[in-house]
Amino acid sequence: MKQGLVAASIALASVVVTYSGTSSAEEPQKGGTLRILGNAEVDRFDTVPPATADVTNFHRATVRQLISFAASIDAAEQVKPAGDLAEAVPVPTDNGLTYTFKLRQGADWNAPGGARQITSEDLERGFKRMCNPAIASPHITYFEDLVVGLSEYCAGFAKVEPKVEAMKAYVEGNDISGIETPSPDTVVFKLKHAANDFLYMLSLPTAAPAPIEVLAYLPDSPEYRSNFIASGPYTVESYVPDSLLKLSRNPSWKPESDPLRKAYVDEIELVSGMQADAAMQQVEAGDADMLYDLLVPPATAQRLVAAGDEKTVAIATGRSRFVWMNTVSGNNGGALKNLKIRQALSYAMDKAAIVQQLGGPAFAKPLNGIFPLGVVGNHDFDLYPTTDAKGDPEKAKALLAEAGYPDGLKLKMPFRNSGSDPALAQTIQASLKKAGFDVELTPVPPADFYSRLITNFENAQNGVWDIVAAGWTPDWPGGAARSIFQPQYTYNGTHGTFNFSDFNSQRANAIADKASVTTDPDEAAKLWGEVDEAVMADAPTVPLVSVNTIVYHGEAVQNFLPYAAGGQGDWTNVWLSR
């Protein structure tokens, strides 16, 4: 199909492995209906509650954000904050405590009375709605921790009855002291402490502006949905729950006011209730164009990538997989408390086998730190290097013997019994066996794995598990180092849910404090890199791989550019050639 950029991209070890779809010879075409297939429907129209990346694609098409990302095949550009409603990405002042945004003129609400400019008031209203007592935002704690006055505002809001009238009165009668609106086109955020990931947090739909009209409805209620007020290039045309959502052009949206969205297609149809295999067949046959919340079935993706299908695109969504080691139990005489043993495990792990198991280099890349590809702080380093990342059983055995376990060690490893996890667990088992670790596998039903087994600290203390394979996806793309490091690798005396064995490193914490506040993005990246190395020196986990999501599109779809926050091709930038 046409001339692709395949040849150039094969050599790229990092993110985009195979890419095509656009051809410079063809002019973009306007019009047509983009057909997207999903299993679940768009579960939230309202910007306040959504937590899944899939819904972010819907909001990309219908809602403007202060900060967003360009759709791009370039890995760095994908996660570089770009002004959406903001005219430009501001440099913070006041030692990183103040962010002043100028709003883009001509960016309008599709209000019932006709197009109306989006103002700074609307932005503040968006923040106010975050902690409404009916449905709060899943990301509220990140913002409460940063924005001056937001926690006080939310504490007051929590006492309000979750009824429309009462909530409207509270929103209109109270202000967040840290969000100032000196003029309709200027909004100023005051932060409690400097945090260079604030800009990335603003790309979450939950931080989107809200028009005054929505105060008349409960958040995400049927009334909210039927009176949906769009600000992006598309608006809700019709909606049949659990089966079909149709988006059509928003008459109030002006292309010149939007640098990030080109909005080539006229309509977007989102069909739900599909199964992955069936949906994929339709997309391959050209009856549908893209997938919504469905992943390309792994074996199919492997086949497509192996066949060099130009319609597959790999996106680094910041997902990583790693093996956590239990350092709080007394199993094997507390062997895993010994750094040497943890290092032996790090050396023993055959990461190349895991990459192969997950589908080869297009799907995963060996990871040696806590920050995966696509996250600030990721850099090339390996404290436990082995040839071709294949593991070094001899070195691991030597370390084990040094630590007093010359006959090896028996380890309990429960695994989540679904998807690729059983295969992954057996791969880990086989690679550790070569180094003298006898891994005993126990399948655990997927619903119980995280909720009952792993996040329950008692199980760690009682030695129910010695090692577990886990995964992590940060809440926002790009500058998400803090959202990986803080919940998983810091311990302040109270046990955290995702720090499975209370890991803490004073040295890493000290560097992380510096990394969060610096206003220089390059320095932040460098400091987070040091944090990564400081954590890995203690080897609390064995990082396995950075995982790429493989997305696929139909023959007709052109200009398929990944939108990192949604982990998909950008609906607002594709065009159709049927």
* 419 binds other proteins, rule: CB under 8 A: yes
Q: How far is the CB of 289 from other proteins (least distance, A)?
A: 21
The span from the CA of 490 to the CA of 482, in Å, is 10
* 358 binds other proteins, rule: CB under 8 A: yes
Determine how β-strand 108-111 pairs with β-strand 234-240. unpaired
Among 1, 91, 285, 299, interactor with other proteins by CB under 8 A: 299
Which listed range, 47-55, 190-198, 416-424, 554-562, lies at the site for other proteins (CB under 8 A)? 416-424
Contact 336, 329 (CB under 8 A): yes
* 244 binds other proteins, rule: CB under 8 A: no
Tokens standing for 566?
């949604």
User: With b meaning 16 or more CB within 10 Å and e meaning fewer, what string describes 416-437?
Assistant: bbeebbeebbebbbebbeebbb
Tokens standing for 496?
């955290």
What Cα–Cα distance (Å) separates residue 373 from each residue in 52, 365, 489, 541, 548?
A: 20, 9, 18, 17, 9
Residue 106, Ramachandran bin (φ over 0: left; ψ between -120 and 50: alpha; else beta): left
Q: Which is nearer to other proteins, 183 or 442 (CB)?
A: 442
Q: How far is the CB of 448 from other proteins (least distance, A)?
A: 7
Q: What is residue 205's DSSP assignment?
A: G
Q: Which is nearer to other proteins, 273 or 419 (CB)?
A: 419
* 520 binds other proteins, rule: CB under 8 A: no
* 420 binds other proteins, rule: CB under 8 A: yes
Helices (H), 276-316: 276-285, 298-306
Q: How far is the CB of 297 from other proteins (least distance, A)?
A: 4
Q: What is residue 549's DSSP assignment?
A: E
Q: How far is the CB of 366 from other proteins (least distance, A)?
A: 14
* 359 binds other proteins, rule: CB under 8 A: yes
Among 28, 184, 298, 471, interactor with other proteins by CB under 8 A: 298
Contacts with other proteins in 435-494 (CB under 8 A)?
441-443, 445, 448
The span from the CA of 135 to the CA of 50, in Å, is 10
Q: How many residues bind other proteins (CB under 8 A)?
A: 34
Which listed range, 60-68, 83-91, 194-202, 411-419, lies at the site for other proteins (CB under 8 A)? 411-419
DSSP bridge pairs for 239:
245
- The H-or-E segment that residue 152 falls in is helix 150-158
Q: Which is nearer to other proteins, 112 or 360 (CB)?
A: 360
What Cα–Cα distance (Å) separates residue 167 from each residue in 50, 118, 150, 379?
A: 20, 22, 16, 46
Among 430, 492, 513, 520, interactor with other proteins by CB under 8 A: 430
* 1 binds other proteins, rule: CB under 8 A: no
- Residues binding other proteins (CB under 8 A): 276-277, 297-300, 302-303, 305-306, 353, 356-360, 362-363, 417-420, 422-423, 425-427, 429-430, 441-443, 445, 448
